[in-house]
Amino acid sequence: MTWGTRSVIRRWVQGAVMIVGFGVCALVLGEAAGVSAGVGASLLGVLLAVLPLGVVVPAFLWLDRFEAEPTRLLVLTFLWGALVASAGALVLNTSTMVVLRNAGQDPLTLGAVVVAPVVEETLKGLVVLLIWRLRRQEFDGIVDGMVYAGLSAAGFAFAENIFYLARAFHDTGGAGLATVFLLRGVMGPFAHPVFTICTGIGLGVAATTRRTSTRVLAPLLGWLAAVTLHATWNLTTVAGIQGFLVAYVFLQVPLFAAFIGVALWARRREGRLIGVHLAPYAEAGWLTYPEVRMLASMPDRRRARVWARMTGGRRSLAAMTAFQDVASELAVLGMRVARGAGGPEAPAREEALLRDLAARRREFAGTVLT
């Protein structure tokens, strides 16, 4: 059996394992939702739980604009949060509540404040850790960590919202359903993502350093921050609607503002790094300095695509978009080489990207710098 054949078989086996695993988790969640609230209420919960995703998911895709991650990994990350992390949390949280009840403890308070944050942040962040360790070529820093963590948490929140919405409709009808949707879908759609991106930031820091201590401590501190914020949020919401409103004003709103600030800083930082690592190619003649400035700025990239569309139509726009994507890959390769993670294939990859860069320029401009 050749190496290529083994590689194909391995990919098919991995795909089959993932499909079966996701399927089992979906069955567990579906059965639990049906038992607790009924099929009709659960379907209504699904319909309403989808709505916040129309805001949350685009926010993280916006953050992932400079060097977009593979679609398959983004989808996998979301499904992990929605199925694997949710099913795992359901089993572990429920089992722990039974143990606490049998021990004479308050299962609701201890479960919500102590157990759930640890279990849920661990399961949501685990997929980000796996991508960092197993797909290092697709994990290049803080932005990547935030995107993967945010999508995993968005998937988890989607599944959790289905349960809360279905139970509210089953127990209290339309009024309860509207209240839960307002509190979770309108006022708090970013709660889970904001917690989990702390883990993503920690893993992103670890991915960009050679120091062993930092590679260990940064993810641990990020996870601890995620658990602490989650626990604090749950502690205040246990107090009822008044506690939720207090937590919303004094915790959720400041956290969301901080999230926006960190996201803007991280995206600007990524643009600066792209400019830094593309500058040597301008010195060597592969790029012009105005092109480097354009590639390091998202507004300038948009203006360049508008120019390409107006001057050369759709083919020119496609070529400009590809030119920008290839340049981002080239800059990311430079970042990996700079931190000693380029690998032996880096020179060949660099040469291929430079040829592709020149070809894309020929398509939208008709000239090649040599």
Yes or no: say if 362 and 338 are a contact pair by the CB < 8 Å rule: no
Torsion angle defined by CA atoms of residues 143, 148, 153 and 154, in that order, rounded to the nearest 10 degrees: 90
Q: Check residue 5 and give its pLDDT.
A: 63
Confidence of residue 367 (pLDDT cuts 50, 70, 90): very low
What is the pTM assigned to this prediction? 0.91
pLDDT for residue 7? 67
pLDDT of residue 2: 55
pLDDT digits (tens, 9 = 90+) for 168-188: 999 999 999 999 999 889 988
pLDDT in tens, 72-91: 999 999 999 999 999 999 99
| Reported confidence tier of residue 370, pLDDT bands at 50, 70, 90 | very low
Q: How many CA atoms are closer than 13 Å to the CA of 353, on its beta-carbon side?
A: 20
Contact 128, 199 (CB under 8 A): yes
Q: What is the pLDDT of residue 366?
A: 59
Q: Hey, how many other C-beta atoms are within 10 angstroms of the C-beta on 4?
A: 8
Q: How confident is the model at residue 293 (pLDDT cuts 50, 70, 90)?
A: very high
Amino acid 322: pLDDT: 94
Q: Which pLDDT band holds residue 209 (cuts at 50, 70, 90)? A: confident
**Least confident stretch, 5-14, 130-139, 218-227:** 5-14
Question: Largest Cα–Cα distance in the chain?
Answer: 77
Q: Among 6-10, 117-121, 193-197, where is mean pLDDT lowest? A: 6-10
Tokens of 138: 């697709």
Q: What is the pLDDT of residues 95-147, one digit of tens each?
A: 998 888 888 887 778 888 899 999 999 999 999 999 999 988 889 889 999 99
pLDDT at 16: 81
With tokens 């995107």, the residue in question is: 147
Angstrom distance (rounded) from CA 287 to CA 271: 16
Show the tokens assigned to 329: 């890959």
- How many H helices and E strands in the chain? 14, 0
354: Cβ contacts below 8 Å, ≥ 6 apart: 281, 286, 330
The rounded mean pLDDT for the chain is 90
The residue that leads in pLDDT, 203 or 312, is 203
Question: Do the Cβ atoms of 207 and 141 come closer than 8 Å?
Answer: yes
